[in-house]
Structure 1
Amino acid sequence: MMSKKPSNCAICDNSNRASICSVCVNYRLNEYNSFLKSLESRRDLLYSKLSVVLAAKGKTDDQLNWKIRQNEKLTNLKEKLRRSKEQLAQGKAKIERVSHDLKVKYGMLESVRGTLEKNRVEQLEKFYPNLIVTLSSGHRAITSDRLHKQSVVIKQICKLFPQRHVNLEGERRDGSSGQYDLICNARLPRGLDPHSVPSEELAASLGYMVQLLNLVVHNLAAPALHNSGFAGSCSRIWQRDSYWNARPSSRSNEYPLFIPRQNYCSTSGDNSWTDRSSSNFGVASMESERRFRLDSSGSNSFNYSPASPHTVETHKDLQKGISLLKKSVACITAYCYNSLCLDVPAEASTFEAFSKLLAALSSTKEVPSVMSLKMACSRIEIFFLTIKCEG
């Protein structure tokens, strides 16, 4: 309780009793009310300070709790990493052990297999000595018979399409001279120049070569780099569309092996070159009158400047056709020479090397001797092949 303070009232002050008059009572009540208000303001001030302190403490506690949780997660991850490393090391060790065991087993298997193969060879040599000789002799006989029949066929083909390499001394009427390759007495072009020989002779010789190439590919089972269609002096060559489709992918990929008689490289733009949709391969008339030859002037080059664009394009197509034909001939020549274990003649033209190849294939003595040498070198391979067939 509050201590009693002196009052201005004489009655209340002298009686030493509680205030009984209204003035003293009101005075004491007002004084007590003021004291309560001061305490309330102090309480509010302390409560606000306490709230700030509690909020700061709450944030600090939250941070400490988050740090504790993160430390626990980090500890768990480190433990998980340690276990993963241990498992990885154990797995590597297991793989190494298994690999070592497999290598040992494979070594044992290879050793046992080598022993078995050696025993099989010994048993075959001991109990079946004539079997290997019989099979080898049969293989040589079949090969020899095949080569003989092949040489007969090639000899007949060479009689139908004789080839030779000539050197024209002097100068002919058409201005040609030097070395040429002939097929059926028709000169083949030199290089990719379609004007190195007369136009009729060019078309005929390239047509002969197309037919000869098709016959050789069929009889020798040689790979054909390009496809060609024989149509006499109007033959063509093209790159096949795919392995299954022998037709060209488009008409623009089909190249002529002849110069049409329609314009003979005329400088005027009125005469058109070959119409590839026509049935006569772009030739206006097979009985058309003779016109001025391309190379009657004796020049092996053609001046494209006064010619029409269509003429220039057709000349390029003709050169492309000659290039494809020579590539096909060179491919078959290289394939056959490699199959015979022979070297391609050095410093020989494409058509000359091809003619020498056909002469070698048509010989009944040269090819069997080469093949007998080849078979003698591969006798060991035939021996092991026979053993595998018996197994």
Structure 2
Amino acid sequence: MYSNRWAHALLSTGLLWFLLAIAFAPANKIYQQGLVALLWVPCIALAWSARACLGEAWRGQRLLFSLLLLLALWASISLLWSHTQEPDREFKRVLYIAFFVLFFPILADAKPDRVMRLMQWAGVGLGVAALVSMIKFFGVQHHAWLARVEGVGELSHPILGAYVIGVAVIWTLLWPPRTKPLQVVWCLALLLGSAFVVMSQSRGAVLALFFTIVALPIWWRHRRAFYLSAAAVVVAVIGFWLMEPLMMARGSSYRPEIFEAALKMIELHPLTGLGLGSEYNVVVADGTRFDHSHNLFTHIAIELGVPGMLLWAGIWLTVLWQAWRVRETDFGRGMIGIWLFSTLAMQFDAASLTGSPRAEWFITWLPIGLASLLVWARGEVAPAVIKSRVPLNQ
């Protein structure tokens, strides 16, 4: 049933909703309701019919899925000592994440190129969102050109909005269309997205985008990768020369002090953490308070202790290892780029692992969902599984 046209159309709509409605949905509540209707409910309804596909994903990514199960189990156990007032809500979010990861194998049906095509269109759509954001911010609202641009919809936070558009630039860059007319649109989307990231003045997003493009030749041994890397260096030098006072005006934004204070908090509860969903404040030496640690790894260690952080690190490194094994494929190259950008981005501001779907999911759970498809990146599908997928009426 999951391989029928109507099911594929519904699942495709769910992915596009997740990727695009974060910018274009009129309200966060509508965005969340759309995910329930178009992503989670179809995933649950079609999971049984897709059991052969999910079983193949499990066999091919046994380490990744085992670590995810262990992290989910540890996070659920931590609710026993968590200070959250709604433990059932936190547990429900863990289930949402589980179905989100399972959604990708069901949608792809052993064909990662299906997801790649959808993400190509989503990259163009987020390029349009970047354009609309800049027109609204500078043209309609008449902000000064040196102000930090804010995106539309849930991209209104300059940092998190830049992370979403930045990772979209990376997958759009590494998964280009093959026809020339679409390549023109692709190029415009890249330029608009890159401009949005720079004008957001989010140094974390800018650095993540820069280093990811500069590092392309490490895993993509192609002349184009060297050209892109060199171009990124030239653009970065010119941009820094023009915008140095603006980019350096905010100093280090307390990041070293926050990191030091976060380490002290981890030392208080190194094994158990505060528990999943516990609210906390990071207080630096001068008394300034922050509502999270501005770093995903320290945030996880504060909530889930060192065991939780090690499990997350294992999951994250497994994604890289699996992507590196298929780096000669289009899907593998894109996955490494997404992984590297996300790794750099989560060092500076992202501090939400199990919250409801939001901008942070683009650099946490989206890469892991995509990684579940790496088992098919080489096109090596077991004949027995293919046979089991043939409809009974054929």
Higher helix share: 2
TM-score w.r.t. length of structure 2: 0.22
Higher strand share: 1
Larger relative CO (CA 8 A, sep 6+): 1 or 2?
Answer: 2
TM-score w.r.t. length of structure 1: 0.22
